[in-house]
Structures are given as C-alpha cells and as structure tokens.
Amino acid sequence: MTTETVGAGRCPMVEPCGDLGRALAELLDGNPHDPRRGLAVGDQALLTLPHDATLLDNLDAQRTWFLLAELDGRGLAGVDDRWNEHPAVADLRWRLGGALEAAIRDRTGPIVACTAAELPDRVRAELAAVDSPPLSVHLATNGTVEHYQDLLRHRSLYHLREADPHTTAIPRLTGRAKAALVEIQSDEYGGGRHEWMHSTLFARTMQALGLTTDYALYASGLPAITLAWSNALTLFASRRELRAAVVGHLLALECTSSIPNKRNAQGLRRLGYGDAATAFFDEHVEADAVHEQIALYDMAVPLLEAEPTLSMDLLTGFRAALALDADVAQYLLRQWGI
C-alpha cells in the first residue's frame, strides 16, 4: 500500500436489507435516462418510517442514506454518476433526509437558543452533561488488538475521508467563521502534504493492525448506530440550511478529541505498536488542542455573531456529534462484554 492509494476508490454498494434499500438498488441498476424510471422510489417504505430516534436503529434506512450520501460524494461502484442528479434520487434523498433530521433532533432533545456571547458557557455546560462511556480508558488499560481492530472498522467510515463533509460548509460561511474553518481544514488535509493528511494517517493505523484501507469496505458489516453516527454529518453537509450544524459537529469533535486520542495511542504502545500505528492518534492530541480554541472563538462564535438565528442548529450538530459517538462507544463496549 502506498500513500497514493490509502482509502482510495469509490464506495462499494452495500447489500440492501429492507424495502427501502432494495428500491434504491433497483433504481440505480440501470440507465438514468430511461423514461420508465419514475419518481416513486420506496414510497411504502418511506411512509412507514419513524420520525423519531428509533430510526437511528433502522438498518435499512441507515444503509440507504449512507449510499445516497456516497453517491453524492465519492460515487458508488458500478453506478452511473448521473443518478446523483436524477429526480427520483433527489426525492428519496429529500424525504429520507427529513426523517433522519427529525430522528437526530429527537435524539438530541430540546435545545434552547443562545447568543454568541453565551456560546462558550453553553459549550462547557453541554460537555459537562455528556455521559460518555469509558471507551478510551478501556483501550488504554485493557484493550486488545481485536478491540482496536473493531474500533478502526467502525471509525473508518468517517476517518478515511475525515475532513470532507465539514469542508462542504466553507462556501456556505462568510467572514471570520469561513477563515477559521479553512484554517482547521488545512491541518486536516496535512497542510497540503498528502502523507500528513489525517485520512492518510488513519489508513496507516489500519494497515499496521492488519486491516484493509479500501474505502467503506467494512460498511456492510456495521450496525445501524454506527451508520447513523456517520450519516448525521453527511445529512448536515447535504443541506445548506444545516450549515451551522456542520460547524457545531466539528466544534464538538475538536473539544473532545485530545484526551481520548492520547489514551488510544497509549494503549497501542502498551500492545507493542510503534509510530506507524500511533501517528494518527498522536497528531490529534496536539492538533485538536489548538483547533478547539479556533473552532469555538474564531469559527462558532463569529458565525452566531453574523447569523444569530442559527444557534439551535449549531447546538444540534454539537450535541448530535457527542450523543451518537457515545452510542457507538456503548455498542462497542457491549460487544466486548464490558
């Protein structure tokens, strides 16, 4: 594996597991200019979808959104790119996205608006209220190679294209918030050096632990909650109206990354791994300590100063990142019998 190929390629098609996924697969298996391809895709399945947090455990819905997002991103293996602009796909993306947004808002709970000046205190209060499972503590002290392999498989949905969904917010922001986001993203992309891109570093960690780095290869074996953790961000990124949720999501990651990543690196060293495996985690210990301040005071606060009506969306993205990450951590600990 070379640094030119880590995480490369289109997203593989994920096997449908329900009516919605089968309807999408049938639609995409053909010519997008075929006049027989109508607008009604998965109508019955969509009508029965819940619009609350239970949707986050619906594997059919989460796999289907994952494919819709990837069709608009790297593209799907064996699928004509022109399907991305097809009215039937747009209709499905609109309706399923609406249900997913409602589910995320239900999961995050009621949110009270705040001013830009109040945001730092609100962020600290939100962080203090989070009940985070002790995932990184376990990995640092008792985690096995198999546990780390599980972690990397689950996290690979995001980290093999780490910066990309957040980058979609750049053209949707202005002024200081835009400049701060660009500064953070420049570091995520290795300052213009491919070998230091965070996605490249993550792929090297996967390789060091004997995992393949083909993009989204493990998606078909992941549970609905892990797909929902990834899908929340791609939903936010897909809608201009949710640009503040993208900012809030990134802010949450930068505020909570340094300590867990330090523990993750410690656990790998305890298991005898060297820099090739730990560089990704080591990089985030230092980078995210700096990014936390930039994300809050140079990006999020200026965004609310410019657009004060966006505070609830920003806090929704912030809280969703924390809540869904905790859900995945809890799932992994249960799988390990902890």
Q: How large is the C-alpha radius of gyration of the chain?
A: 20
Is the pLDDT reported for residue 63 higher than 70? yes
Mean pLDDT of all residues in 122-135: 94
Higher pLDDT, 174 or 286: 174
CA nearest to 93, candidates 216, 198, 235: 235
CA nearest to 25, candidates 300, 317, 220, 158: 220
Q: How far apart are CA 253 and CA 269, in angstroms?
A: 24
Q: What angle do CA 185, 187, 190 make, to 5 degrees?
A: 115
- 57 with 198, same domain: the answer is no
**3 part of a folded domain:** no
DSSP 8-state assignment for residue 190:
G
pLDDT in tens, 169-188: 999 999 999 999 999 999 99
- 129 with 104, same domain: the answer is no
Residue count of the chain, please give it: 338
Q: How far apart are CA 106 and CA 100, in angstroms?
A: 10
156, 215, 275 from 191: Cα distances, Å: 21, 22, 20
List helix spans (H) across the chain: 19-28, 43-47, 59-71, 87-108, 119-129, 135-141, 145-159, 164-167, 175-188, 198-208, 224-238, 243-256, 258-270, 275-293, 301-306, 311-335
- 154 with 283, same domain: the answer is yes
- 88 with 140, same domain: the answer is no
**7 part of a folded domain:** no
Domain count, the chain: 2
**CA 23 centroid distance within chain:** 25
Is the pLDDT reported for residue 3 higher than 60? no
Structure-token match 């961000």, residue found: 233
Per the structure block, which two tokens stand in for 319? 């809280």
Mean pLDDT of all residues in 289-301: 94
- 86 with 127, same domain: the answer is no
- 78 with 49, same domain: the answer is yes
User: What is the per-residue pLDDT for 36?
Assistant: 65
Residue 272 in 3-state DSSP? coil
Is the pLDDT reported for residue 309 higher than 60? yes
- Angle between the N-to-C axes of helices 145-159 and 258-270, in degrees from 0 to 180, rounded to the nearest 10: 140
- 265 with 240, same domain: the answer is yes
Q: Please say whether the dihedral angle defined by the alpha carbons of residues 293, 294, 300 and 304, taken in this order, is positive or negative.
A: positive
**2 part of a folded domain:** no
**95 part of a folded domain:** yes
User: What is the per-residue pLDDT for 35?
Assistant: 67
**14 part of a folded domain:** no
**1 part of a folded domain:** no
Is the pLDDT reported for residue 12 higher than 90? yes
Q: Which of 62, 85, 108 is the last residue of a domain?
A: 108
**Least confident window among 140-149, 221-230, 286-295, 325-334:** 286-295
- 24 with 66, same domain: the answer is yes
Mean pLDDT of all residues in 239-266: 97
**CA 158 centroid distance within chain:** 5
pLDDT confidence bin for 21, thresholds 50/70/90: very high
Q: Output the pTM of the full model.
A: 0.94
pLDDT confidence bin for 240, thresholds 50/70/90: very high
Q: How far apart are CA 29 and CA 57, in angstroms?
A: 27
Q: Are 25 and 89 in contact (CB under 8 A)?
A: no
Q: How far apart are CA 124 and CA 130, in angstroms?
A: 10
**167 part of a folded domain:** yes
Structure-token match 């090739």, residue found: 276
User: What is the per-residue pLDDT for 37?
Assistant: 65
Mean pLDDT of all residues in 121-134: 94
CATH code of the domain containing 139 = 1.20.910.10
Percent of the chain with pLDDT over 70: 95
**58 part of a folded domain:** yes
Q: Which of 52, 84, 108 is the last residue of a domain?
A: 108
Is the pLDDT reported for residue 1 higher than 50? no
Mean pLDDT of all residues in 121-128: 97
**CA 119 centroid distance within chain:** 23
Is the pLDDT reported for residue 5 higher than 70? no
- 32 with 165, same domain: the answer is no
Q: Are 175 and 302 in contact (CB under 8 A)?
A: yes
- 192 with 225, same domain: the answer is yes
The domain in which residue 246 lies consists of 119-335
- 151 with 267, same domain: the answer is yes
Is the pLDDT reported for residue 137 higher than 70? yes
- 152 with 255, same domain: the answer is yes
pLDDT confidence bin for 48, thresholds 50/70/90: confident
